[in-house]
Each structure stands twice: as structure tokens, then as C-alpha cells.
Structure 1
């Protein structure tokens, strides 16, 4: 099975015969470390967090081998991806996806379903901790009341207002779920404390997982329904990430902080910006990868599928809706 590889250290990535060769390089002295070889047939994605030197020969090799590379800056912001040629894009799908975006009635329906799935999964998380003694009853009621307004919305900006209110209530619960850490207001650019830093980092990872799933379908990642399409971003991945952040990101954060797999010493705060140190990033992505590999017995397919594959299935469901083959029903946690 192909794997995702994370490159945290600065270095040079090159082709060596039919293998990827990563050579770590000390940025101060320029001294090279011991090379590591990655058989390209074992690589699914590369996540690059350190400075990386590559050349066109390497990119051609990645493209022919179907390997994507995702890049992040010093502050853990997603900056872009290198993707092989889009081999599954289909004209009919793009036409139908565009029609659904341009039709206010069709677009709002898809957007509402996406938010319904997101709200349901947020409540599912809160009920889990409510059943373990956390005082979350009022918050659950507030979110369910707000979610009840979703079918009444007629404009996407109105729907996004509901989404913002739901998120505000949901994030206010984090302090009680992970004692010792204060969420405060949700701050993104930059995150100002440990919880905000973890949410930003985890959401970025979820966004990239969704983008990769879209790439393996006929959907166009730039045409979205809940979020407004914009320049220099794959907004459909933002749409799908809303549904899966409670499962993939938030549960990872709750587990790691409650089990003390992350400590305050794993964060650094400078100039009102809080980020994960390298050890913290490595620990988070390891648990995040483990979560993606977890499996669940799928009720419709009748077999076990990984959490990561659930995202791909969501893309297939959305694609079927767009071409009129089946009505889109969002992923909702049933366990």
C-alpha cells in the first residue's frame, strides 16, 4: 500500500534511477547528511515542511509516477501543491458542476447538505464528551437549534452566517473538553494560543486530504458550493473539509491533549503567534496519519473502509448528485 511521507528537515530531493533520494542538508553549514531512499512505487503523497531543493527532472519523475507534493511555509501555512496531470477530469462533470454553482437553487441545496453534515458531526463529538461527564448540554441544544435553520436559508451568505454561529458555539466547548487549554476567540492569521494553533494546523492537513481525494475523481477542485470560489485556492476542498474536520482534526486534538501526547513545551509563541515546534508537528501528523488509516465497517458497502477512503466516497457521492444519478447525503458519523 502506498504511504504518505512527511519531510520536516531541509534538504534536496532528486531522482536516483527509479527511486526518490532525499538528502538532508544543514542550512547553516551546508553539510549534507545521510541520504534516504524512497521507492517511488511506495509513495502516495509528499508533505514538505522544510526547505526543499528540487529540479525539473525530479518533478517530471513525480508527475509520471503519480506522486503529489504539498508544500507548507515556516508558519505551517499551506502554500500549494504539485500535482501530476489531471487524468480524470471529464467535460460532462465540469459542465454539471458549473451548472450547479451557477444555479442559486441547486447550489444552496448542496451547500445546505454540507453544513448539515458538519453540524451533525460536531454535535456527535460533543455528545461523546457529554456522556463522559462534560457539561455540554446547553451547547448541544444551541447547535441543534442553529442547525434547524439550515433548511430555511435561501442565500449562501446567509448559510455561512449560520455556519459561523455554529462554529462559535462549538469552539467555545473546547476549553471544557481539554482542561488546561483556553481556546478564547478563534484566531487564524495568526493563531494566538495552543488550541488555535492546533485547529489551524489540523484544518490545513484535512484540507490537503480532501484536495487529494478530489484529485482522484472527476470533480474540479476550484468549483465549490458552500465557500465562494476564489483565486489561488481549491475551494471545493474547503467545502468537504467542513464535513470531516470534526472526525479527523478535532478528535485528534482532543485525544492528544487529554492523553498529554502534546505538552505546552511543544509550542512556541512569538509576536502574538503560536505555532507547533518540530517535535509537536511530527507527533501530530503521526496521530493524524494513524486516524486516516483507522477503519470502520461501512453500512452501505458492507465492508471495512479507512477514514481516508471515507473522504473519497464523499467525492463520489457528490459527483453522482451533480450528474443526477443519486441525491447527495453528507457523511454523518454513525459510531
Structure 2
């Protein structure tokens, strides 16, 4: 079932308050909380955060009009036969189960992520000989990003990422002990902040995916596994450099991160402490909400999820990933 672009212009409407009641009043869906009052059309996708109750009459009217509800606490979806969420789910399944479509989207995401790495290296003060060599090697690997075997694509992506972090070694001051990217657990002071920043990014993207009515478990690049939000990991590949890396790297090049004051060490594992978390979180949100020509990176994330929604319903011929301009 094709859903034309005009129908996606206002994907969802939010309401946040405590002790709210969502009820049907004089043909309107009204949410009234302790402070806020919101009015909705029955056909809207309503996103509720905070805590409250939902009247049965309101639910019946929303179902009758083809609307939907997401209660963010617990990620509870109002679902019913031929609901918007069920139509999205069927379209997602058809898309990710097509090997040609899946590999095409996966390759395009990895290609965009690789070019974003190149763009970051062009911005940073990397020694020119190192930058030129690594960018040329990355471009050579980009030309190999094709085919339907995901493990092969991910292997190429791993080589690109290794080259990227090799270049960053020349940017991050030596006292932070960064030699290579380490995860689960991070073993140097720079990787600790990257891991935390990536977690913030995943959570933000997951929240938006749910608000748009997509199933976060169905993905193109990362292999779906149980309840893992693999689609959030896919979309994060497009934004990791633009948001996390460009939020975190300046904290280290300016030596704003204190080894003694911002971290906690457990054996060979290094994590941010409360103060370190605050510094990275503040820089992350500043980067996320910084507007360039009236548009923030938070807006860009919503735009990409909108594009994906249009793509899976056949309203776009291709999914075009985000690139740093």
C-alpha cells in the first residue's frame, strides 16, 4: 500500500505531562495534564510521554479513524488490524527480506559513512602526509562496497574504520593513551568518551524510530538479533562522525577532559565518571541541536527516518543516506 509523501509531512504529534488523561471530548481527542492541554485529530499519530491514562472512547475513535498512539514509557504501541504500525511492519519486512534491496541500502549507508570519515579528516589538523595517504586508501575501499554478502561489506567497513582511527591517533594528545579504538570495554580515555557518545546517539535514534512507527529490530546493515534495535545502529552509521566524533574530539584536542577528574578505571577498563559523562553529554546535545541554515542534526535524523519510511512504502526509488556537507 503506497503512502504518498504529503501524508508524512506531520508524522507525529507529541504531548508530555504528568497525570494526563487522554479522552474523547466533543469529537476531539484531548489530552489534559497538570500543566499542558493538547488537542488532536483521531487520525493523528499521538506520542505520549510522562504518565497518565487513556480513555476507551478515545482509543475506539482513534482506531476508527486509522490513527495511532505511542506511549514512550515502555514503548507501548496501539496496534490493530490494518493500523499504520502494522502497515509499516509489513513494508519493512518486504524491504529487508529482499536481498537486492537490503544490500543496496547497506552499501549506500557504508559509503556515506566512509565519506563522512573523510570529511572529518579534512576538517581536523591531521598531518598532511598521513591525511592524504589514508584518504586515498579509504577511497579505494569505498569502490569495493558492493555485493550482497553482508559479512564482506562489514569487513570492508572495518578496514575503513581502522584507517580512520589510525589518522585520529595523530590528533588526540598522547596522554590520553589512544592507540586504537577499543570497545566492550574501552581501554583508553578517548574510547571511553566515544562509547558513551555512541550510546547517547543510539538512544536518540531509537526514540525517533519508535515515534515514526517503525520496528527498530528490522535492519539492512546490522543483522537483526532478538530485541536488538538494529535499525538504530544502521542509521547511527550515517551520523556517528557528524555528531559523536565532532562533539567528542574537541574535548580532547583542547585537553578539556581531565584524566584524574573525569574517568574511573577498573583494571584495564576505563569509563567516564559522573563529571565526565556530563561534559560529553553537554557537548553531544550542543552538537545535536546546533542549527546550520535553520536545520539541526536532530532535524537531519528525523529527515533520514522520514526518507526511510517513504522508501519502504515505495514513495522513493532509493534511500539516500546523510552526508556531512
TM category, shorter: 0.7 to 0.9
Equivalent residue number for residue 294 of structure 1? 290
Displacement of 1:274 in angstroms is 0.2
Return the alpha-carbon distance in structure 2 between the equivalents of residues 119 and 126 of structure 1. Answer: 11
Equivalent residue number for residue 270 of structure 1? 266
Q: 1:293 to 1:323 in 2, by over 3 A?
A: same
Question: What are the ranges of 5 or more consecutive residues in structure 1 without an aligned counterpart?
Answer: 1-14, 19-38, 42-57, 70-81, 298-303
Matches for 1:23-102 after TM superposition, within 5 Å: 60-61=51-52, 68=72, 82-85=74-77, 89-102=84-97
Equivalent residue number for residue 225 of structure 2? 230
TM-score, structure 2 normalization: 0.74
Q: 1:127 to 1:91 in 2, by over 3 A?
A: same
Return the alpha-carbon distance in structure 2 between the equivalents of residues 117 and 218 of structure 1. Answer: 25
Counterpart of 1:275 in 2: which secondary structure? Answer: strand
1:172 aligns with 2:166: yes
Which protein has the larger Cα radius of gyration, Structure 1 or Structure 2? 2
TM-score, structure 1 normalization: 0.72
Specify which of 290, 311, 315 is matched with residue 305 of structure 2. 315
Equivalent residue number for residue 140 of structure 2? 145
Displacement of 1:185 in angstroms is 3.2
Between 1 and 2, higher relative CO (CA 8 Å, sep ≥ 6) is seen in: 2
Return the alpha-carbon distance in structure 1 between the equivalents of residues 277 and 144 of structure 2. Answer: 38
Return the alpha-carbon distance in structure 2 between the equivalents of residues 201 and 213 of structure 1. Answer: 19
RMSD: 2.9
Q: Is the 8 A contact 2:126 2:167 kept in 1?
A: no
Q: 1:40 to 1:330 in 2, by over 3 A?
A: farther
Equivalent residue number for residue 248 of structure 1? 243
Task: Give aligned pairs, total.
Answer: 268
Q: 1:134 to 1:68 in 2, by over 3 A?
A: farther
Displacement of 1:331 in angstroms is 0.6
Question: What are the ranges of 5 or more consecutive residues in structure 2 without an aligned counterpart?
Answer: 1-16, 21-33, 37-48, 56-68
Return the alpha-carbon distance in structure 2 between the equivalents of residues 275 and 252 of structure 1. Answer: 17
1:284 aligns with 2:280: yes
Counterpart of 2:183 in 1: which secondary structure? Answer: coil
Return the alpha-carbon distance in structure 1 between the equivalents of residues 95 and 19 of structure 2. Answer: 46
Displacement of 1:194 in angstroms is 0.6
Return the alpha-carbon distance in structure 2 between the equivalents of residues 63 and 130 of structure 1. Answer: 55
Equivalent residue number for residue 7 of structure 1? none
Return the alpha-carbon distance in structure 2 between the equivalents of residues 241 and 145 of structure 1. Answer: 23
1:330 aligns with 2:321: yes
Greater Cα shift, 217-226 or 184-193 = 184-193
Return the alpha-carbon distance in structure 1 between the equivalents of residues 111 and 84 of structure 2. Answer: 28
Return the alpha-carbon distance in structure 2 between the equivalents of residues 63 and 204 of structure 1. Answer: 32
Greater Cα shift, 220-229 or 202-211 = 202-211
